[in-house]
Amino acid sequence: MITPRCRLLAALCLLLIPLTVASPASALTRDQLRNTLAGYLAHSSLRGASLGCHVQTPEGQEIYSYYSRRALIPASNVKLVVSASAVELFGPQYVFGGQVWSETAPGPDGLLEGNLYLVGHANPDGTQSVIWPLARALQSKGLRQINGDVVGIGPVTAADHDHGLQSARRLAEALSQLGLQIRGQARDGFCPRAPVLLAESQGPSLSAYLKRTNKLSENRLAQRLFDSLLACYADPRQPDPGFLLRYWSLRGLDTSGLILVDGSGYSRENRLTAAFLTGVLVSTAQSPSAYTALSRSLPSAGVDGTLRGRMRATAAEGCVWAKTGTLLRVSCLSGYVERNGPPRLAFSLLMNGYSCTPGTVRRVQDQMAIAMAQYVKAQTAED
């Protein structure tokens, strides 16, 4: 319900937004924060728009909600879901790449009695960055002949949806081109006790890949990471983008009415809610290492990425870490407000169907983020 107080704040916002994104003059109490956020959402420039807003603490305590369960187009806020899922499923310290193992070491004549086992790490950067370094490493160690099979275990790259068969074939082909003889066949399978590590190819760390993806909102990189998750965890016969929603549903989040069709947010068919996005953010914040991997991949207000030019010289600078999202008449901002290291708030602002300029919508979002930062500052003044 929009109260007279909210309408007064909206009128004040009308004066502020076209001119500045300066912070509120003083720190905010919780009630003042709620009224301030409601006032910005009641701004006349957003009249007729479909809005969703949710703010909660890392402990899951709700601070503010406005149509937070309305399914809206999230644009690149989809990348938050993909990134958080990767941190949860792969682990924050994960490194993409590949390894080749065998049950016994090759003989001095370069003959390997037994199988070669290729273990994949779902590298989103592609086959060439994994297979050929492994093949050349095996050649450099003097391997000449494999008297067994090349067995693929798990996807080596994001494109592999057969649990290793394509990767095994690619490695066998690369080894053949380098002059190595393979007596067996290329196939997928399982790795028995294989104590000998013959070669290893190091790809990017997950945290580094997330920074490349999220700071400047790279659609291609996000889609590859999404494909890596599907290759590792979804049904290989029929990779379903909705897999990630099912995962978060099992984690206790409400996914009813939500739709996920890609990993970048480019599609206008995607539908997420502000409550779902803050739920994902809060879940990830439960682990310090997971929080660091996700939050530090996001643009920092007034500092870098797509927020470099926003909220400078305000309470939000350097303490709001958030993912932007932009399509035609779609503008979103979701992330964290932190102070002195730990996260203090998780928030999501989803705005669809507005008739004002995108710049005006961004200024509304900035004012709301600044208000949250002012509130956090007041709450943590004694830390």
| Residue 159 clears pLDDT 90, i.e. is over it | no
CATH code for the domain of 140: 3.50.80.20
Q: pLDDT class for 381, splitting at 50, 70, 90?
A: confident
| Residue 231 clears pLDDT 60, i.e. is over it | yes
**3-class DSSP state of 225:** helix
Let me know how many helices (H) and strands (E) the chain has, helices first.
Answer: 11, 13
Identify whether residues 36 and 103 lie together within a single domain.
Answer: no
Res 110: pLDDT: 95
CA-nearest of 96, 181, 173, 90 to 130 is: 96
Q: Please give the order of strands across the beta sheet that includes 181-182.
A: 111-112, 145-146, 181-182
Give the C-alpha separation, 280 to 87, whole Å.
11
Give the C-alpha separation, 116 to 134, whole Å.
12
Lowest mean pLDDT among 55-59, 122-126, 268-272, 355-359: 122-126
CA-nearest of 238, 237, 279 to 258 is: 279
Work out the percent of the chain whose per-residue pLDDT is above 70: 92
Mean pLDDT on 236-257: 90
Report pLDDT digits (tens) over 196-224.
999 998 889 999 999 999 999 999 999 99
Structural domain total, the chain:
2
Residue 373 parent element (H or E):
helix 358-379
Identify whether residues 183 and 212 lie together within a single domain.
Answer: no
First-to-last alpha carbon distance for the chain, in angstroms, is 35
Identify whether residues 74 and 115 lie together within a single domain.
Answer: no
Lowest mean pLDDT among 47-61, 183-197, 310-324: 183-197
Give the C-alpha separation, 119 to 317, whole Å.
43
| Residue 380 clears pLDDT 90, i.e. is over it | no
Res 161: pLDDT: 76
Res 19: pLDDT: 36
Final residue belonging to a domain, choices 153, 173, 205: 205
Given a contact cutoff of 8 angstroms between Cβ atoms, the answer to whether 237 and 245 are in contact is no
Instruction: Write the DSSP symbol of residue 202.
Output: E
CATH code for the domain of 77: 3.40.710.10
Final residue belonging to a domain, choices 144, 175, 205: 205
Give the C-alpha separation, 347 to 341, whole Å.
17
CA-nearest of 3, 75, 76 to 39 is: 3
Identify whether residues 303 and 233 lie together within a single domain.
Answer: yes
Identify whether residues 298 and 229 lie together within a single domain.
Answer: yes
Report pLDDT digits (tens) over 12-29.
444 444 434 344 446 789
Res 30: pLDDT: 93
Give the C-alpha separation, 320 to 90, whole Å.
26
Mean pLDDT on 71-77: 98
Range of the domain at 270: 4-92+208-379
Identify whether residues 86 and 102 lie together within a single domain.
Answer: no
Mean pLDDT on 275-287: 98
Identify whether residues 287 and 186 lie together within a single domain.
Answer: no
Identify whether residues 247 and 335 lie together within a single domain.
Answer: yes
Given a contact cutoff of 8 angstroms between Cβ atoms, the answer to whether 187 and 234 are in contact is no
Identify whether residues 242 and 373 lie together within a single domain.
Answer: yes
Identify whether residues 216 and 286 lie together within a single domain.
Answer: yes
**3-class DSSP state of 275:** helix
Q: Calculate the average pLDDT of the chain.
A: 91
Work out the percent of the chain whose per-residue pLDDT is above 90: 77
| Residue 87 clears pLDDT 80, i.e. is over it | yes
Identify whether residues 118 and 50 lie together within a single domain.
Answer: no
Mean pLDDT on 2-11: 49
Final residue belonging to a domain, choices 187, 205, 223: 205
Give the C-alpha separation, 69 to 257, whole Å.
9
Mean pLDDT on 96-125: 92
Res 241: pLDDT: 84
Identify whether residues 227 and 352 lie together within a single domain.
Answer: yes
Mean pLDDT on 242-264: 96
